[in-house]
């Protein structure tokens, strides 16, 4: 059985029809629609000489035993955000399935190394706000106590949703057993941004995932009547926050791939007839270089103090979350770039702003690399998310070439 990228595209459409509606994909983790998608996927692998099981965190593993116990892991995720796109996550998994089929056929069911295709559970974190749930359990970076009581908008606890799917959160650490004999990890993903399209390139090689600094910044001023308070007598918390929102754009532009975003603003009292006495904003800063990320953080803090003083306010910071940058394996980057160039004739190395399961696998010490395929208009997490079918086919071929090169690399390791 030779590689058939058109089958991958057809199966993606089949999955979309089964688990989507007029608003987009609806495979939110721990829901019936997500489970339906997983059952559909299980039916696709029954024809192969593989073993399938779920680990303690709900990750699905399809294993093709090889002559060596050393394993090549290929990963993706079938879960989606609500009203999501047809490619985010599912392309990774179905392209990996097609590569698994090719390898199983070429080597009569026994390749030189063991091949393992993983569907990570709850990559998106769409329902309970905890992204990379299954892969973090695999990597050993998951915190049970931090996540046990997370609730969705209907008040359902994560722990209860897991139990409904046959999982116990206390057993999540057992998922680390799946690391045994892992020699390398590959992941294909749509870019979810506009860079490759603007460059006219179908495929790119991912250098790593950016680190994140995410904070709540609260400016404290004085509520006052909007009609009677002179402009030069105001302590306007929103004015200080607005200045910061503009400044962080300047901070980001000093660095090539850095991004900074003020994504949420809450004001009090929040009425038309009052000067804002309290303004809370969120700041999200990302870069692949830890030093750059730290510098941007310092600059934003300094700017917030400066603007607070200008508006006769005070300011305080509260960290929401942070994660360090993850750089992918240099030798696998080279092999991946070779595969991309052999497939499309050109390549581009770029960081990933969004987080991916690949970052958690890398944190576990497993050599890791990712590949991007162009996203039309750079849109994702949206029903209009799309990629040219020609480029989808190329991404399957490039992933297949990368898998072959990586199998050889794994065998060459001591």
Every domain of the chain and the residues it spans: 5-209+325-412, 211-323
- Between CA 185 and CA 294 the distance in angstroms is 29
- Strand ranges (E), 65-197: 68-76, 113-119, 182-190
Residue-wise pLDDT for 281-307, tens only, equals 999 999 999 999 999 999 999 999 999
pLDDT at 165: 97
Grade residue 212 by pLDDT with cuts at 50, 70 and 90. Answer: very high
- Beta carbons of 366 and 178 less than 8 angstroms apart: no
CA angle 92, 96, 100 (to 5 degrees): 175
Percent of the chain with pLDDT over 70: 100
Q: What are phi and psi of 144, to 5 degrees?
A: -60, -45
Grade residue 146 by pLDDT with cuts at 50, 70 and 90. Answer: confident
Question: What's the mean pLDDT when you consider all of the chain?
Answer: 97
Residue 26 has pLDDT above 90, yes or no: yes
* Distance from the Cα of residue 383 to its chain's centroid: 18
Q: Do domains 5-209+325-412 and 211-323 have the same CATH topology?
A: no
Grade residue 380 by pLDDT with cuts at 50, 70 and 90. Answer: very high
Residue 264 has pLDDT above 80, yes or no: yes
Side-chain-facing half-sphere of 295: CA atoms under 13 Å: 13
Identify which of 342, 330, 333 has the alpha carbon closest to the alpha carbon of residue 401.
342
Reduced to 3 states (helix: H, G, I; strand: E, B; else coil), residue 268 is: strand
Average pLDDT over residues 226-244: 98
The CATH number of domain 211-323 is 3.30.70.360: yes
Q: Domain 5-209+325-412: give its CATH code.
A: 3.40.630.10
Average pLDDT over residues 26-42: 98
Residue 220 has pLDDT above 80, yes or no: yes
- Between CA 308 and CA 303 the distance in angstroms is 8
Residue 1 has pLDDT above 80, yes or no: no
Structure-token pair, residue 203: 């495929």
- Per-residue HEC secondary structure of 175-228 comes to HHHHHCCEEEEEEEEECCCCHHHHHCCCEEEEEEECEEEEEEEEEECCCEECCC
Structure-token pair, residue 10: 């057809």
Grade residue 279 by pLDDT with cuts at 50, 70 and 90. Answer: very high
pLDDT at 326: 97
Could you tell me the CA-to-CA distances from 402 to 114, 173, 183, 225, 370 in Å, in that order? 15, 30, 14, 65, 10
Residue 149 has pLDDT above 90, yes or no: no
CA angle 196, 198, 203 (to 5 degrees): 20
For 158, counting Cβ atoms within 10 Å of its Cβ (0-12 exposed, 13-18 middle, 19+ buried), the class is buried
Grade residue 176 by pLDDT with cuts at 50, 70 and 90. Answer: very high
Please tell me which residue, 136 or 145, carries the higher pLDDT value: 136
pLDDT at 321: 87
- Beta carbons of 378 and 191 less than 8 angstroms apart: yes
């Amino acid at each position: 059985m030779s590689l058939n990228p058109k089958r991958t595209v057809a199966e993606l459409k089949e999955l979309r029809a089964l688990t989507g509606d007029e608003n987009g994909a609806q495979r939110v983790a721990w829901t019936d629609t997500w489970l339906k998608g997983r059952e559909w996927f299980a039916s696709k692998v029954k024809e192969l000489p593989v073993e399938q099981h779920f680990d303690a965190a709900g990750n699905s593993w399809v294993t093709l035993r090889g002559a060596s116990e050393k394993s090549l892991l290929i990963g993706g995720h079938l879960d989606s955000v609500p009203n999501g796109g047809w490619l985010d996550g599912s392309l990774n998994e179905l392209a990996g399935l097609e590569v698994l089929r090719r390898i199983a056929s070429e080597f009569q069911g026994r390749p030189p190394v063991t091949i393992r295709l993983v569907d990570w559970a709850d990559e998106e974190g769409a329902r309970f706000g905890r992204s990379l749930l299954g892969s973090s359990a695999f990597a050993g970076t998951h915190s049970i106590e931090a996540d046990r009581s997370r609730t969705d908008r209907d008040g359902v606890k994560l722990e209860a949703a897991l139990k409904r799917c046959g999982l116990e959160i206390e057993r999540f650490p057992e998922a680390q057993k799946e690391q045994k004999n892992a020699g390398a990890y590959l992941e294909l993903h749509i870019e979810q941004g506009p860079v490759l399209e603007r460059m006219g390139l179908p495929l790119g090689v991912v250098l790593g995932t950016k680190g994140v600094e995410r904070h709540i910044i609260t400016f404290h001023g004085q509520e006052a009547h909007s009609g009677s308070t002179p402009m030069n007598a105001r302590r306007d918390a929103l004015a200080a926050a607005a200045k910061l929102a503009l400044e962080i754009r300047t901070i980001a532009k000093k660095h090539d791939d850095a991004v900074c975003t003020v994504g949420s603003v809450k004001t009090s009292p929040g009425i038309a007839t009052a000067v804002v006495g309290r303004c809370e904003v969120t700041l999200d800063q990302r870069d692949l270089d830890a030093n750059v990320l730290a510098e941007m953080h310092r600059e934003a803090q300094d700017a917030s103090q400066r603007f607070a003083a200008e508006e006769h306010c005070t300011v305080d910071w509260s960290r929401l979350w942070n994660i360090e940058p993850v750089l992918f394996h240099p030798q696998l980057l080279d092999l991946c770039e070779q595969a991309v160039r052999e497939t499309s004739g050109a390549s581009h190395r770029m960081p990933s702003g969004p987080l991916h399961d690949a970052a958690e696998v890398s944190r576990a010490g497993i050599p890791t690399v990712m590949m991007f395929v162009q996203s039309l208009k750079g849109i994702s997490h949206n029903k209009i998310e799309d990629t040219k079918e020609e480029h989808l086919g190329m991404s399957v071929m490039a992933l297949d070439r990368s898998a072959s090169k990586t199998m050889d690399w794994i065998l060459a390791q001591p």
